[in-house]
Amino acid sequence: MTTCLNCGKPLGSGSTCCYHCQGDRAAPTVSTEVRERVERYFILSSLKCANCDEIHETVTVDGARYTAAYFSIETIEEWNNRMQAEEEWLRGNKSAVEDALIILEPEWPQTVAAVRSHIL
C-alpha cells in the first residue's frame, strides 16, 4: 500500500501526498546529484526491452540519445549487474530517492510507480 510521503496516511493510486498534504507540502529539495542518479537509473532501465528482453540500440530522452555502450554495457548479464547495483543504491538512499521521485514523476510516471512498488 502506498502512503503519503508527508504524513504517512494511506493513499489511492497516482498520488504521492494525501489531499490535505498536497496543499501544505512544499516541493522537496533534492540535490542535483541524487536527481541525476535516479534519472540515470530510469534511462538505464529503459535500455532493456520489456517485450523481447533484449538491449535496445538507443533510448532517447529529451532529445539526448543513450546507448548501452554509453553505460559500458554489452550483455544482458552486465545490464542485470548494473541494475542490481543501482537498485541497492536506491534502497540505501530511500529518503532522498523518494523526494526525487516526486520531482521526476510528471516526466516518468510509470517508472516512478515501478520504483515505488518494486524497489522501495
Other Cβ atoms closer than 10 A to 30 = 19
pTM confidence score: 0.76
- Please tell me the predicted confidence (pLDDT) of residue 9: 72
Q: What is the mean pLDDT of residues 9-28?
A: 61
Contact 101, 109 (CB under 8 A): no
| 27-86 per-position pLDDT tens digit | 577 899 999 999 999 999 999 988 898 998 788 988 899 999 999 999 999 999 999 999
* Three cell numbers, residue 44: 538505464
- Please tell me the predicted confidence (pLDDT) of residue 26: 56
Share above pLDDT 90 across residues of the chain, in percent, rounded to a whole number: 57
